[in-house]
Amino acid sequence: MWYAIVGIDVADSLEKRLSVRAEHLARLKALSEAGRLKLAGPFPAIDSDDPGPAGFTGSLIVAEFESLEAAKAWADADPYIGAGVYERVDVRPFKSVLP
């Protein structure tokens, strides 16, 4: 089943994000290579593809896992959590309808 993982950043998270971004992306790449990633990306803090020093306010990942518990365990192991980027993370089942 698909699951939506929404991470909400702490204030001024950009430095923390950048410090572990490579590790975060490596985990997403592994999901993608396994055919289990539908989409992933950050929420810019301003209306721009490149928010510069304004940074980001969170992230969205939609990926396939065996269960809600497996999705939560994967989300809990994200380097952004260990680095203090996320204030909170919400994991929910997701039903893909379109496209």
Tokens representing 8 are: 């909400």
Q: How many CB atoms lie within 10 A of CB 3?
A: 21
**Average pLDDT over every residue of 59-77:** 98
pLDDT score, position 62: 98
pLDDT at 94: 98
Residue 48 — pLDDT band, cuts 50, 70, 90?
A: very high
pTM (predicted TM-score): 0.95
Q: Which two tokens stand for residue 30?
A: 């592994």
> What average pLDDT does the segment 23-42 reach?
98
Instruction: Retrieve residue 31's tokens.
Output: 């999901």
**What pLDDT does 81 receive?**
97
